[in-house]
Amino acid sequence: MSLRKKSSTTPQSSSHSSESSDEEIQTSSLRTIIPLKPTTIKIENDDDAILADNECVSGNDSDDANDDDDDKNDVIIQQHSPNSFSIINQTINMQIKADIQNASKESLLAKIKQRKLKEKIRKDPNSACCDENIEDDLREFEYENYRIWKKNCPFLYNLLITNSVEWPSTTVQWYSYCKPQVQSNQKMWNNSYQSNFREFVSERILLGTQTEPPEKNYVIIATQYMPLIDQEQIFACEGGVSLVKYAKFENYVRIIHEGDVNRARYNPQNPFIIATCSSNSKNYLFDYSKHPCEPSSDEFKPDLILNHHSKEGFGICWNNRKHNILATCASDSYISIWDINGNTQEPKTLQPKMAFKAHDDEGCNDVQWHHQHDTYLGSVGNDKMLRFWDIRMNCKTKSIFQGRVHDAIINTLSFNPFCEYIVLTASDDHTVALFDIRNLKHRLHSFHGHKDEVLDVKWSTYCETIFASSGRDKRLIIWDMTKINAAQSQEDAVEGPPEMIFIHGGHTGIIQDFSWHQHNQMIASVSHMNEIHVFKPGIDA
């Protein structure tokens, strides 16, 4: 199996199957849980959708007649009175998690297969088993699940912004090196229409495209605008506040890139410097202060070419403690250490300061520098091994610690930024594993919740016990280690382990990457279905 399973890339064009009439895939029980029926405003939006604190999406059965017209960019916003929130919070209980977030595709697929088999046997008892239209039924179920999620997401989020772009991004990173920029409404919107909000906050996000020839790929620095709004402003507006048109998302800088941008990460010591992993096996460096906001020509102009790997890769990490030191890995099983201040060759080509074979021939999937030690790094690979290296030693001989910690391919690892001994790994065996690097023979805990391969895991930036993981099951799960082995009722246990505190189920495609914001609890995530989500979970952490 490959390092990352890429899906075919197509420009954004979404279409959904009609609602199924089969009783087996009806999941509308959630639409009757809302105790109050507030004023409803429907907004048709072709661009972005934003839901802010205290907004409520309709969940009443009376809205079902209009559901066929819904798509990703339709938003129904409601406004409750302040006194109603305590009632709603009591009503939004763990059953919502079970119905929205933990719907079992496996059990549904089994039911669909059984129904198809019965129909086939009834029509032709001598025919072989056939499941031709199962995928269509599964897509119908997934879209129904998405619609229910969209209707109820205001109960689950403090902030949610969804953006659709022309081409998918396989990488995302908050530009968290500086404080968000506050802008006046007149400056931002050029007086194109009246706004109730005087100030907006803008955040920058690093992205990279994955296109099909002859389309060009780009490294993109995008700007996400969000209005600064408080509760008084919300309740001052009759019928509630629509924030849809105020959540502007636009490209700030675009730089032509050769090959798909598998990963892009900025230098924490000099955020103008961006390093990338390309699908053509090369790594590139760009100083975006030297590039115009839009390319002046179709020429590819990297500031530096890092030339060593023979196959493409997804692993790239800057050293947080040592300036201008970069580590990369690839499917050729090698780890390369780069000093970007080193001597370059013409034309603008740099050779690695150190390179060594880290894993068996199957490939090295990820490499990460340790947060507290500038010479330690960890790596994982298709050989199911977790290895730790000290670059002061002869890494070509052996690693300082190693262990076979999964029974399937390991896709990524993450060191805890607060505790130097704790590390997480994510694997194709559908689990996330917790280890103490001093004793890799003993797994501290296994986190079960994903229904497919786990492709990414990252510790939060604000709490040492919280992390998130994402995978091919199109879900991003937030975990809290303090809740491991917490007491649960039988009903709650069916919904998932107690350490699973939140599931973001809004993506319709495989989640390629996600990023924690450095200064608050926001997360940005991207999927292969051209989606970019920005959200803040409605959890106390």
Tokens 């604000």 identify what position?
Answer: 462
In whole angstroms, give the CA distance from residue 230 to residue 53. Answer: 9
Q: How far is CA 76 from CA 51, 193, 202, 379, in A?
A: 10, 21, 25, 45
In whole angstroms, give the CA distance from residue 225 to residue 252. Answer: 12
| 3-state DSSP assignment of residue 281 | coil
Report the CATH number that the domain containing residue 257 is assigned in CATH.
Answer: 2.130.10.10
In whole angstroms, give the CA distance from residue 284 to residue 296. Answer: 19
pLDDT at 413: 98
Q: Whole-model pTM above 0.85?
A: no
- Tokens at residue 331, please? 């499917």
Please check whether residue 347 lies inside any domain of the structure: no
- Tokens at residue 290, please? 């030297």
Domain range spanning residue 190? 165-301
pLDDT at 437: 93
pLDDT at 100: 46
Q: For 245, which DSSP code?
A: G
Tell me if 256 sits within 8 A of 302, measured CB to CB: no
Please check whether residue 204 lies inside any domain of the structure: yes
In whole angstroms, give the CA distance from residue 97 to residue 331. Answer: 38
In whole angstroms, give the CA distance from residue 538 to residue 540. Answer: 7
Angle between helix 105-123 and helix 134-156 axes, rounded to 10 deg = 150
Tell me if 427 sits within 8 A of 406, measured CB to CB: yes
Please check whether residue 283 lies inside any domain of the structure: yes
Q: Taking the C-alpha atoms of 254, 258, 263 and 265 in order, what is their torsion angle to the nearest 10 degrees? A: -50
In whole angstroms, give the CA distance from residue 468 to residue 6. Answer: 21
Helix (H) or strand (E) holding 234: helix 231-236
- Tokens at residue 30, please? 């959630």
Q: For 396, which DSSP code?
A: T
Helix (H) or strand (E) holding 479: strand 476-480
In whole angstroms, give the CA distance from residue 456 to residue 337. Answer: 22
Closest by Cα among 315, 279, 513, 524 to 410: 315
Please check whether residue 54 lies inside any domain of the structure: no
Please check whether residue 237 lies inside any domain of the structure: yes
Which positions ≥6 away from 525 have C-beta within 8 Å?
Answer: 172, 470, 476, 504, 507, 511, 513, 514, 515, 532, 533, 535
pLDDT at 283: 98
Q: How far is CA 228 from CA 132, 175, 177, 343, in A?
A: 50, 19, 20, 47
Please check whether residue 317 lies inside any domain of the structure: no
Total structural domains within the chain: 1
Q: Taking the C-alpha atoms of 316, 320, 321 and 326 in order, what is their torsion angle to the nearest 10 degrees? A: 20
Pairing of strands 261-267, 270-278: antiparallel
| 3-state DSSP assignment of residue 536 | strand
pLDDT (tens place) for every residue of the chain, 541 residues total: 445 545 545 555 433 333 333 333 232 222 222 222 233 323 333 343 334 333 333 333 334 434 444 444 433 333 333 333 333 343 344 444 444 444 444 555 555 555 555 565 566 655 544 455 666 767 777 788 888 888 888 889 988 999 999 999 999 999 976 555 666 554 444 433 344 555 778 899 999 999 998 999 999 999 998 877 766 766 666 655 666 667 889 999 999 999 999 999 999 999 999 999 999 999 999 999 999 999 989 999 999 999 999 999 999 999 999 999 999 999 999 999 999 987 766 678 999 999 999 998 889 999 999 999 999 999 999 999 999 999 998 777 778 889 999 999 999 999 999 999 999 999 999 999 999 999 999 999 999 999 999 999 999 999 999 999 999 999 999 999 999 999 988 888 888 999 999 999 999 999 999 999 988 889 999 999 999 999 999 887 5
Please check whether residue 462 lies inside any domain of the structure: no
Please check whether residue 207 lies inside any domain of the structure: yes
Decide: residue 207, CB within 10 A, 0-12 exposed, 13-18 middle, 19+ buried: buried
